[in-house]
Structures are given as C-alpha cells and as structure tokens.
Structure 1
Amino acid sequence: MNFKNIIYSLITAFCLYSCSDDLLDTQPLSEITAETFFNTSSDLQLYTNGFYRMWPSTSIYNGDAITDNIIQTELSDEIRGTRLVPSTGGGWDWEYLKDINFFLQEYEKCEDEAAKAHYGGVAHFFRARFYFDKLQRFGALPWYDKPISPDDIEALTKPRDSRAFIVAKILEDLDWAIANLKSEKNTYEVNKYTALALKSRVGLYEGTFQKYRENSGYETYLEASVSASLELIDNSPYQIYTTGTPNMDYLELFNAHNANETEIILARAYSKDLSIGHNVNYYTTTSSYGRPGMTKDLVNSYLNSDGSRFTDAPNYDKTPFIEEVKNRDPRLSQTIRTPGYTRKGQSIPLAPNLGATVTGYQIIKYVTEPVYDTNNQSITDLPIYRLGEVVLNYAEAKAELGTLTQIDLDKSINLLRKRINMPNLNLDKSNTTPDTFMANQYTNVTGGNKGVILEIRRERRIELYMEDFRWDDVVRWKAGQTLTQPIRGLYFPGPGSYDLTGNSETNVVIYEGDRPDNTISGVQYYKLGSDISLDANGLVDPHPDYNSRQFNENKDYLYPIPRLELQLNPNLEQNPNWN
C-alpha cells in the first residue's frame, strides 16, 4: 500500500463520532469516553483524523457549477435567481464544530507536549475552516468554542455574533494553528503551510468583501492575506510546478493520479485500491450527468499566446472554433478539448462531444484514462490548497491595497504565466489601458489599479477554473450581475457540416427538417431548434428559456437560514430579504 493509501486509511478507517447534527449532543464518542481517551499521541491523531471528513467527497467544482463557469443541462437556482428558504438543512449544520470543540475541551490531558501542540493546531485549523465555510454562506454566525450542555438555554438561543467578531476568531484560530502545527511537508495532512494558505484565503475574501461594500477596516484583512501569502511564497517548500513543457504542465498538474507535491499543499486523496473515487471522468465525458461546458465569455477572456487580447479583434464572437482556439493562452487547450486533444494514455485525436457538453466547450481538467469513466471511479487526487492560489491571493490583496509593484507580480502571477510560456503581466501597461471586455463584467472596479485588478481577476478565473472558487469570488467582489449575462457556447453560422479537429473531416452536422439519410459513422448529428439552439448571432444557446435571469443585490449574496432553525432559536434573525 502506498503512502497516500496509508494516510487515507488512517483518516477513514475509524469513526469516533455520532451521526447527529444536534448541537445538544456533547458526547460524540459512541464507544469510548473522555475519561479513558485523549491520553496519548495516538489518541489525538485518531480523533483528529475524523475532521478530514469536511473535505468534499466526490467533487470539488460546485462553486463553478452553480455559476457562469460551468453550465449544465439544468441551470442552478443560484444562477437563475430561484433559491427558496428551506425548512431544514441548507448547510446550517454543526456536527463538525461539536466534534472539534469536544476535542479542544479534552485533549490537553495528554502529556505529550509535541502531540498536543500539533493536534491542537489541527483542531484550531478545522474550526477556522468550519466557520469560514459558514461565514461565506450565511454571513454573521453565533460563535461557539466549547460543547453546549442540553440545559444551556442561553447558549442554544444566542443571537449571531458580529461578522467582524467571527472573522477575528477565525484568524485567531489560524494564528494558533500556524504557531503550533508541524512544518513537515505532507500532501494529505494539515500542516503549518495549510493554515497559512487558509489565512491567505480568509484575509483576501473578507478584505475584498468589505471593500466592495464600502466598509472601513478592510485593509487589516488584506494585510493578513499578504503576510500569510508572502510567508508561503518566500519560506515554504512549495513551488509553482513546471517541467518546461508549457503545453502539458498545467494539464498534468491536475490529471496525475497522485497529487503533485511540488505545488499542492493539501489534497483530498482517492484510491483505486481502496475503492474511493470521484466522478469527474463520468461528469465530463457522458451525456447523462449534466453535460457540463465552459461558457463563451470565459473562453473569450483567455488572452492570445502573445499576450494580446482576443476580444480586441473585430467580430471575435463569430470566430469559427478552430480559429478561435488557435494561438491562445495554453491553459485553454489544457482545460477544454481543442484540436489535437487526446485522452490520457491514448493517441486518437478527439473532437468536442456536443452530446456531453451543452456549450460545445468540453472540459478536460482532471480527466484521465477511459478506464475510469464509470461514475465515481476517477482517482485523481483533488487539490484543496495549492501555491497557485496563494500567489493569486498575494497579487490581488496588494493590488486592492494599492501597494502592488512589478516585483510583486514577478514573484506571483508571472510565475503562473512562466509555466505556460505566456508574456509577463505588466503593471504599468495594465493600468494605462484597462481591458474594456473585462471592465464590462466587473463594473465596480475603479481607481488607479483598475487595469491590473481586472487582469488579476482574468488570471484567477482561468488558473483556478473548476477548483470551487467562482461563486465565492463573485460574492466577495459584489459582482452578482455577471451571473445574469447571456450564456453562450460555440459559434455555428447555421445548418451545415463542421470540422472541429482541424483535420478537414466533418465532426458535426447541424441540420433542419429530417435527419440526413446518408449519415456517417463517428459524425455527430444535431437538429437545429431541437437538439441544438443557436441565437441570432449563431452562438449555441444552451438555455433559450432562461435568458432573462435576475440577481437580487440586496439578498442573493447570502443563503437563507432554514425556517426550523429560526423557530428553534428565536434570537436568530433571517438574512436580509429572505423572510
């Protein structure tokens, strides 16, 4: 059994916890008691292994699939503006916090000081992660740092603490974790660098959340992000992964079976031997699981390979597919199927399968050999924290603070561009000539750093595609109106035969009326107006019935608290305009 499987076995083999989400249950241990446990390093390790259940189980792209990054057969309620207040559930669950606080109440009886420091750090990290996830979803929350007794009515019915208080507690937990966690590199277990990466993320999120709502004090959070990011960039064992192969390195970072320890700080492990898989191959290659596709506006935002803007060209939106993807940022051809694409381990070029993607831009990130195409059989480890995100956090936080320099760009975003052999991002040039295409998406970006902030957002959306960031980025930027823009796909001027591989052979036929009698094996046939819809400009319209969508600026950035929770705790207030 390899190291990854050993780690995964330790994390999943022993369940110490009750299944209840009830805050009243202060005894999460079902077969052992606090009096006989928490005495040794092994006890602390065994208990904290259970915290890793917080990682996503079968996917890591939900934050993309509910937004304009990944469009599916059914549009999400978030992008349609049709979310409702649930009766129960809705993400308002506290099981993990109960387990974490129970551990922190009991673990200090262990006499192994080194173990107490490290595993105490693990618990503080996970409590910070728990509250950050809840903060992003619901905003202000009641803070609990100890188990709650069933008769503690005051605690059970306390109102929300302020958002500022919750963020301060999250950062306090992370600082405790950073000071006490081990610094040994470990791709599957929390260490000091994992806590620094989360602090980098938290500081950027809250700093920009507050700035774009014109609230004072946002600088403190951005500075926290900068300091944590810089510590990781300058003093950690992680680097931006590159082998000097710009047309493969980005793709191979994500379709390797085992997490790349050069760049990935922490990953969620999957294993064929242990029959633990996820669904990315099945999700992206079949016609029966959502038919996910990248959107036209995101494809448009990829720069040309010489660093120029694709959207500066006349009629860029009516460029045939082969020309559209030619000489672009190499990450485009390493994220979606483009001419020359072959499955991992195979040599047959494949056209985009319009039956498996509603936009025509078929996703290949994380996709591996066809043997893993069955549902939940993919075994690529999924990154949770990687240095690529941290350098983006660093550049953005400094840009929003107004302290960004060219040196900062060269030690952050330009390392990502170097991996794919793209020209460096230039601070002065970006600010002198802001991109109109990007500015139209993010209309509230202003000031002297407008141009470079827009470029950083372009870079972030491209580099972190399908890594669960898009929804949170839209929320913190107060950019919900981007989700109401038209959703489009490939350009087809009308019925006809089309080559999508560049080999001068027909791959797709769009027809009107009856299906052609002389069909060719291997060619995709789609009836216009039935199998495929085109708008007035010839762009694939995957959802012609939902072209009038709304985003309520006064409501939709937060999720509603379930009705039952408001009944159980009358001191909780519903989020604005969800009543």
Structure 2
Amino acid sequence: MKKIFFIYILLGIGMTACTKDYLQRLPESAVRPEDSFKTEKDLALFTKSFYDALPSAEGVYNESVDNIVKTTLDDELTGKRQVPISGGGWTWTNLRNINYFLENCFNTVPEAAAAPYAAEARFFRAYFYFDKLKRFGDVPWYDKVIDKDDEEQLKKPRDPRALIVDNIIADLDYAIKYLPFEKKDSNTERATKWTALALKSRVALFEGTFRKYHTEFNLPGANGLLEIAADAALEVIKSGQYSIYNGAGTNSYGALFNSVNSIPSEIILARKFSDALQIWHNVNYYTITASYGKPGLDKNLVDSYLMNDGSRFTDKPNYRTMTFKEEVQNRDPRLSQTIRTPGYKRIGGAAPVAPSFGNSVTGYQLIKFVGDVKYDNFNRSENDMPIFRYAEVLLNYAEAKAELGKLNQSDLDMSIKLLRDRVGMPNMNMEQANLKPDPFLEEDYKNVSGNLKGVILEIRRERRIELVMESFRWDDILRWKSGKLVTRQFKGMYFPGTGKFDLDNDGKDDIWIYEGEKPTAPGVQLLKLGSEISLEFGNSGNVIVNPLIKKVFDENKDYLYPIPVQELQLNTNLKQNPGWGN
C-alpha cells in the first residue's frame, strides 16, 4: 500500500490541469493516511519528494536574459508571449501534495518528531507560493486539500498579493522554528533553519523592492519587507554557520562551482548530481557545443566587471574599442573564472584553449560550472547545483539595508567585502560610490535615486557579477522595474576590422573574419562577415547578436505572466492580469 501511495504522490497520477481535480483528494481506496504516515521514516520519505520542485540544473545555469546571450531568444525578450490555453505555470499538484502531508503528518507520529517534517513541508509551500507570486502576483491561497464538492474554494478569486506574502513569511517562520538548527557538515541536500532564513531574505527582498519600484500597483509596506530581508540575512550572518569559500586561493570563486560535491561552508542548499547514482546534467555540453544556441556573456555584463584595483573599466576613454586581449587584462578575477580568457586551461586538459565562436555567439565563452573534460559528452556532468548559497545572503543584506537608506560602511565590511576578499579585490567604499555614481550603471537603472543611489548601483553590479548563471537575473530585472534592459542590442567582442586575430595571446591566430572567397587556414576558425558573424559598423565594431530580431518589453503587462484561458473559463471569479485581455 505504501509503495502505491508514494508512486501516486511522486507522479501526480490522477491530476489534471483543472482546479477541481488538482486540489481535491485522491480516492480513499488509493490513499490511506493511516497506512502511509505511521512512522517518522514514512514522513522522511514523503518529504523527500518535495525536493523535486527545486530548479533543474539547466534551470540554474541557462540564464538567457541579458547576461547570457544565445542565437535564439526567449519569448520574454521578443514580446511574443501569448496567453496559454492551459499550463503556463498555473499548476498546483505540488501544493496539493504538501497540504495533504500537513493534514496527516501529526496523526500517528508524536508532535516533537513530526514537527521538523511539517516545517520542511511549510518551507516548500513557501517556495511554491513564492514562484507563483513572482509569476502571477495575486493568486488563490490554499492551505488545505480541497474537497471535490467544495465549490466555494475551488472557484475562489485570487487572494491579494499582500496576503500571499504574509502567509509565505508565516510558513517560513514556522520552518525557521522547527527545522534542524545544526547543519550536517557534508549534507547540503536537505533544508535547515538556515535555508528557511535564506529563503525568507530572498522573498522579502524581492517583494520589498518590487513594491518600492512598482508604484503603479500601489502596494504599501516596502520598508517593512526590506527590514525583514535584512534581519533574516543578518541572523544567518551572525550564526557563524557559513563562510565564503577560500580554499583555492584567488581561484576559489571558480572552484566553488566546478567542484563535484557542493562545498558546505558556503552552499546552503544544493541539488545533488552523481555519476554513481546516474543523475547527471549537461553544463559541459551546454558550453562547449553549438547545440544550445552558443551561449556567451553579453558585452554589457563584461563591461560591468571592475578593474582588479576596484576602479571602473568603463571610465577608461577607449573601453569601447579594446580588443579582447586588452579588455580582459587586470580585471576583477571573477571574469576569468566565468569566461575563457588568455591562459585558460580546461580541468583535465593539458594545453590552454582559446574562446570559440563556434560555441559562443558573443565570443565570451562560459566556464562557470564547467568541470573536467571527461564530462564533455551529452548529459554527463555531475557537479552539484547551488540553490541557496551564503554569497546571496550577504548580497541580500547589503541591498536591503541600502534600499532602506540605512546602510553604512560597516554593513559593507561584513557583506560585500567578503566577496571581494575572496578574489583579492578592494572593498566597496560607500562614500566614494555615493559621491560619484557610475554613469554606466545610471544608464541601466534610471529609476534609482536618493542619497545612497551610488552604492545601490554598486551593489547591483556586485550582485550581477557574483550570481551570474545562477538564475537570479530575470527576477532582479522584474523587481527593479528594469524590463527595458532586455530590449537593448546584445553584443560580443570588439574587432577593429576584418582579418586574423589571436584571442588567447599565444602568438597564434584563432579566428579569421573574412569577406569574399573563403581562405585556407588550418587550425583557424573562419567566419564570413555578414553571414557567420555581424559587426556593429559593417566591417568593424562589436559582434552583433540577432541583429534582425526585434526585442520588445511592454511595461504595462510584461512584469506579470498571463493566467491560462482554460482556468479563466473554469473559474469565472479569476481575473486576468493587466494587459493580457479579459
């Protein structure tokens, strides 16, 4: 009976897209809580299934917004999103499983033993609803399994955004109270009190800044949420449970991500992958082949990296026309641990390798998360994927304090400084940042103002660089009301003209941009101007990506997703999001 029950839970048998089915109970003959929640082991087995809701590896590293550029563009960037007939993220099976567990976990197991598992379930209910909040805004709140005949609940309207946020935080407070306090030294696969605090800081920062910058929604309480974000992050900081990994010297940033096993001093929660367990992902193949749209960093992000002395790269008068070899010299070391730069060697490889335009449309070829060459075959990578890490908590703290107008230098010293120390960079100086805000960043974030404008911009720079390829950028753009960033022209390396170019500074040509008849050059990548590569000014300038595809972001509707047509028909009390029709 137990085996049948857990197959139902894990596969969601009997669930359909319509509300009436996916929120009601499974047949009594199939699910008997008195048989399935007898022991603490039963609770542990059931809650383990909740972790399937965490992002896939591709959901972490495939950050195709304005950080990672590919030959194809997502509909979010081209304005081609349509109101779906069904699906579209309006799915509730995971919530039904969580609520079913919460209704039954205390039936037989003593309260003290069951409480940590209930806390785990409430953590995942908060995680579930945070995803719905970001996507749709107002959504119906359900904290119990709905009976098939309960028409009032099945056809209830959307609950206000404020109620959803309050309930998310209440669930996280319960999780913080009852989840395990001590983290096991090598286990980053199960949620603890600290995971719940990290999620609380993430949720409150998202919602606090969303309310601050999206004045069109008239949502009060931004500062209260920013206080919650700062306090939750500070509790993690003061606990001493985590630290910034420095075990590989100034190369520790890159080593953190290509380590096969997640490093528990910094990683708070990770998705486990293992060759022994035959659980793999595809990050090596993603970055070294053309199969996934030739992903590469965008020029704007590359320009955002500071010099290694803390000065601004974009303050240099000729920064726009530097060749690749010139622009990557003496930069923030995280750049050379995120993309291929001169001297880069693959793990398990013998010789340095240059960036390849065959695998990266911008030329800024990704190496973050890329492991040993032995993992290069399709779907063979086994390094764990971080879902929560301490660096994010530090960034959340600094940003929340800055947005509140309460940041001081000591706050930066206990947060941003730790990230800079890892790579041997000078700390952020609050006075200097505010005295002369960076015009490059001001152009990107025109709605930032106030006495702390400069340091807010610098924290955003730090966040973008530190967390690149970790699936934060889209959410950040949405909450900062910066959707227009995705409409700018995506660019790659600068080339002064056609001809041969040595990209890795080894004295040998790596690419040849040519016009007319194809030349012969063994070992050199040949790129025909106009068909295989496009330059901004015709025969010179930055590489232009997707020059014929128009990018569109509608400020009146694109900060939220549409509710599927079928759901609006099934429940006439649901109202469509603004700009998406009736």
With the shorter chain as reference, the TM-score category is over 0.9
* 1:40–1:112 contact (8 Å) kept in structure 2: no
Counterpart-to-counterpart distance in 2, 1:500 and 1:170 = 49
Partner of 1:225, secondary structure, is helix
Partner of 1:332, secondary structure, is helix
What is the identity, as a one-letter code, of the residue corresponding to 2:307? N
Partner of 1:311: 314
Partner of 1:8: none
Q: 1:15 Cα shift? A: 6.5
Q: 1:217 Cα shift? A: 1.4
Match of 1:172 among 170, 173, 183: 170
* 2:57–2:385 contact (8 Å) kept in structure 1: no
What is the identity, as a one-letter code, of the residue corresponding to 1:165? L
Note if 1:362 corresponds to 2:365.
Answer: yes
* 2:354–2:510 contact (8 Å) kept in structure 1: yes
Partner of 2:521, secondary structure, is coil
Between 80-89 and 293-302, the greater mean CA deviation after superposition: 80-89
Counterpart-to-counterpart distance in 2, 1:144 and 1:62 = 31
Partner of 2:115: 117
Partner of 2:527: 526
Note if 1:239 corresponds to 2:243.
Answer: yes
Counterpart-to-counterpart distance in 1, 2:440 and 2:152 = 53
Q: 1:245 Cα shift? A: 1.3
Partner of 2:493, secondary structure, is coil
Q: 1:273 Cα shift? A: 1.1
* 1:351–1:501 contact (8 Å) kept in structure 2: yes
In structure 2, the gaps of 5 or more residues are 1-5
Q: 1:446 Cα shift? A: 0.4
Q: 1:62 Cα shift? A: 6.5
* 2:348–2:374 contact (8 Å) kept in structure 1: no
Partner of 2:388, secondary structure, is strand
Partner of 1:472: 475
Partner of 2:156, secondary structure, is coil
RMSD over aligned Cα atoms: 1.6
Q: What's the TM-score once normalised by structure 1's chain length? A: 0.95
Partner of 1:155: 153
Partner of 1:539, secondary structure, is strand
Question: For the structure 1 residues 105 and 197, does the alpha-carbon distance in structure 2 shift closer, same or farther, using more than 3 Å as the test?
Answer: same
Q: 1:30 Cα shift? A: 8.4
Partner of 1:64, secondary structure, is coil
Match of 2:138 among 140, 143, 151: 140
Q: 1:486 Cα shift? A: 1.6
Partner of 1:68, secondary structure, is coil
Counterpart-to-counterpart distance in 2, 1:358 and 1:244 = 30
Counterpart-to-counterpart distance in 1, 2:279 and 2:57 = 9
* 1:351–1:507 contact (8 Å) kept in structure 2: yes
* 2:70–2:293 contact (8 Å) kept in structure 1: yes
* 1:490–1:539 contact (8 Å) kept in structure 2: yes
Partner of 1:385, secondary structure, is strand
Q: Residue by residue, what CA displacement relative to the aligned partner does 1:180-218 show, whole Å, maximum 9, x if unpaired?
A: 111121311011111000001001000000000234310
Note if 1:262 corresponds to 2:265.
Answer: yes
Partner of 2:276: 273
* 1:63–1:471 contact (8 Å) kept in structure 2: no
Partner of 2:129, secondary structure, is helix
* 1:158–1:571 contact (8 Å) kept in structure 2: yes
Counterpart-to-counterpart distance in 2, 1:91 and 1:478 = 22
Counterpart-to-counterpart distance in 1, 2:387 and 2:30 = 32
Q: Residue by residue, what CA displacement relative to the aligned partner does 1:76-101 show, whole Å, maximum 9, x if unpaired?
A: 11111211111111111000000000
Q: How many residue pairs end up in the alignment?
A: 563
Partner of 1:43: 42
What is the identity, as a one-letter code, of the residue corresponding to 1:462? I
Partner of 1:9: none
Partner of 1:403: 406
Question: For the structure 1 residues 352 and 30, does the alpha-carbon distance in structure 2 shift closer, same or farther, using more than 3 Å as the test?
Answer: farther
Note if 1:229 corresponds to 2:229.
Answer: no
Partner of 2:3: none
* 1:38–1:107 contact (8 Å) kept in structure 2: yes
Match of 1:102 among 100, 103, 117: 100
Q: 1:371 Cα shift? A: 1.7
Q: 1:64 Cα shift? A: 2.2
In structure 1, the gaps of 5 or more residues are 1-12
Identity score, percent: 54
What is the identity, as a one-letter code, of the residue corresponding to 1:528? L
Partner of 1:489, secondary structure, is strand
Partner of 2:72: 74
Q: Residue by residue, what CA displacement relative to the aligned partner does 1:423-478 show, whole Å, maximum 9, x if unpaired?
A: 10011110001000000000000000100000000000000000010000000000
* 1:193–1:236 contact (8 Å) kept in structure 2: no
Counterpart-to-counterpart distance in 1, 2:264 and 2:454 = 34
Counterpart-to-counterpart distance in 2, 1:566 and 1:192 = 38
Counterpart-to-counterpart distance in 2, 1:27 and 1:239 = 45
Counterpart-to-counterpart distance in 2, 1:458 and 1:556 = 24
Q: 1:16 Cα shift? A: 3.5
Counterpart-to-counterpart distance in 2, 1:345 and 1:112 = 52
Match of 1:498 among 497, 501, 521: 501
Counterpart-to-counterpart distance in 2, 1:389 and 1:28 = 43
Counterpart-to-counterpart distance in 1, 2:110 and 2:521 = 73
Q: Residue by residue, what CA displacement relative to the aligned partner does 1:398-422 show, whole Å, maximum 9, x if unpaired?
A: 0000110111000001100000010
* 1:187–1:261 contact (8 Å) kept in structure 2: yes
Question: For the structure 1 residues 191 and 30, does the alpha-carbon distance in structure 2 shift closer, same or farther, using more than 3 Å as the test?
Answer: farther
* 1:495–1:510 contact (8 Å) kept in structure 2: yes
Q: Residue by residue, what CA displacement relative to the aligned partner does 1:479-502 show, whole Å, maximum 9, x if unpaired?
A: 011111221001112210000011
Q: Residue by residue, what CA displacement relative to the aligned partner does 1:314-340 show, whole Å, maximum 9, x if unpaired?
A: 121110000100100000000000001
Q: Residue by residue, what CA displacement relative to the aligned partner does 1:5-29 show, whole Å, maximum 9, x if unpaired?
A: xxxxxxxx97644332442441289
